[in-house]
């Protein structure tokens, strides 16, 4: 589904990603771990099409198509979704109106009519319930004054509404308490199928107890320095990242 080959990207003079290779197949869950500032969010943003970053080398293929030239919304229409580490506050636009707009924009891109209002409402209610969000929440301005946990829950609500092929969750677990984490993780698991894929960016093992990864990658200084299975996540939790740094140096 997603193939990243020798990806180099950065801003102006600084390289942030320095040769990333990654392949994610349908039905798989990948975890990306790594110290702060190693380039995890940058990788997520580059996949989603953020123009601020220049791709200087390498390619990103989504379903065998090179997506380098596609705008973020075109990538979204193809089925790429990014749950933001820091969701943006947009006053004056309610969660409901925002998601309606997003859904209908995606439908328009596929040549479909707007979703009938009652169908939309039903779907919104259903998904909101799934993440234990109350009605009042839906009429509030998007992310404005939301707690960290509410913002993340709202991201996953959008994920559920848009039902993408590839979901990239950037530190969705930070700011969530144990109960919220369980609710969110259960929701994500319900959405999982053999047709879609999930990339989970996290610092902590605890999310991976709920969303179990097939592969764990360690990103350091813009490169994937180690790939393993879910056991690697336990090891990282226990031993930190220094030993990997040493290992990488030795190679």
Ligand X SMILES: Nc1ncnc2c1ncn2[C@@H]1O[C@H](COP(=O)(O)OP(=O)(O)O)[C@@H](O)[C@H]1O
* Residues binding ligand X (CB under 6 A): 11, 14, 16, 34, 36-42, 52
CB 77, min distance to other proteins, A: 5
CA distance 186 to 211: 8
SS (H, E, C) 87-153: CCCEEEEEHHHHHHHHHHHHHHHCCCCCCCHHHHHHHHHHHHHHCCCCHHHHHCEECCCCCHHHHHH
Toward other proteins, which CB reaches closer, 15 or 163? 163
CB 64, min distance to other proteins, A: 21
CB 13, min distance to ligand X, A: 10
Toward Mg ion, which CB reaches closer, 40 or 226? 40
CB 72, min distance to ligand X, A: 15
Residues that bind other proteins (CB under 8 A): 45, 48-52, 71-73, 75-77, 80-82, 84, 87-88, 90-93, 96-98, 100-102, 104-106, 109, 114, 158, 162
CB 151, min distance to ligand X, A: 16
Toward ligand X, which CB reaches closer, 100 or 152? 152
CA distance 32 to 232: 11
Toward other proteins, which CB reaches closer, 77 or 223? 77
CB 49, min distance to other proteins, A: 7
Toward ligand X, which CB reaches closer, 42 or 196? 42
Backbone φ/ψ region at 12: left (φ over 0), alpha (ψ -120 to 50), beta: left
Q: How does strand 65-66 pair with strand 54-62?
A: antiparallel
Separation in Å, CA 157 to CA 39, 54, 175, 188: 26, 30, 16, 10
Toward ligand X, which CB reaches closer, 128 or 207? 207
Neighbouring-strand partners of residue 5? 59
Count of alpha carbons within 13 Å of 131, Cβ hemisphere only? 30
Question: Choosing among other proteins, ligand X, Mg ion, none, which partner's interface includes residue 71 (Cβ < 5 to 8 Å by kind)?
Answer: other proteins
* Angle (CA) 19 25 28, round 5°: 110
Inter-residue contact 215 to 229 (CB < 8 Å):
yes
Question: Choosing among ligand X, Mg ion, other proteins, none, which partner's interface includes residue 27 (Cβ < 5 to 8 Å by kind)?
Answer: none
CA distance 205 to 187: 18
Residues that bind Mg ion (CB under 5 A): 40-41, 85
Question: Choosing among ligand X, other proteins, Mg ion, none, which partner's interface includes residue 37 (Cβ < 5 to 8 Å by kind)?
Answer: ligand X
């Amino acid at each position: 589904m997603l193939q990243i080959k020798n990806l180099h990207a950065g801003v102006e003079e600084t390289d942030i990603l320095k040769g990333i290779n990654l392949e994610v197949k349908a039905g798989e869950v990948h975890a990306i771990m790594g110290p702060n500032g190693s380039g995890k969010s940058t990788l997520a943003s580059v996949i989603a099409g953020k123009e601020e970053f220049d791709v200087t080398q390498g390619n990103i293929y989504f379903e065998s198509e090179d997506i380098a030239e596609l705008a973020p919304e075109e990538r979204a229409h193809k089925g790429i979704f990014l749950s933001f580490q820091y969701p943006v506050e947009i006053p004056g636009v309610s969660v409901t109106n925002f998601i309606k707009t997003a859904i209908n924009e995606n439908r328009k891109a596929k040549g479909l009519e707007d979703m009938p209002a009652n169908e939309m409402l039903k779907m919104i209610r259903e998904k909101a319930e799934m993440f234990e969000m109350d009605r009042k929440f839906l009429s509030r301005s998007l992310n404005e004054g939301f707690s960290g946990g509410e913002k993340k829950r709202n991201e996953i609500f959008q994920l559920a509404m848009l039902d993408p092929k590839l979901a990239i969750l950037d530190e969705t677990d930070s700011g969530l308490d144990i109960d919220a984490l369980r609710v969110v993780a259960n929701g994500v698991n319900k959405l999982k199928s053999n047709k879609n894929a999930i990339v989970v960016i996290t610092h902590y093992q605890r999310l991976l107890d709920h969303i179990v990864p097939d592969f764990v990658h360690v990103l350091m200084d813009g490169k994937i320095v180690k790939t393993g299975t879910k056991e690697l996540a336990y090891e990282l939790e226990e031993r930190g990242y220094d030993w990997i740094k040493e290992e990488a140096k030795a190679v």
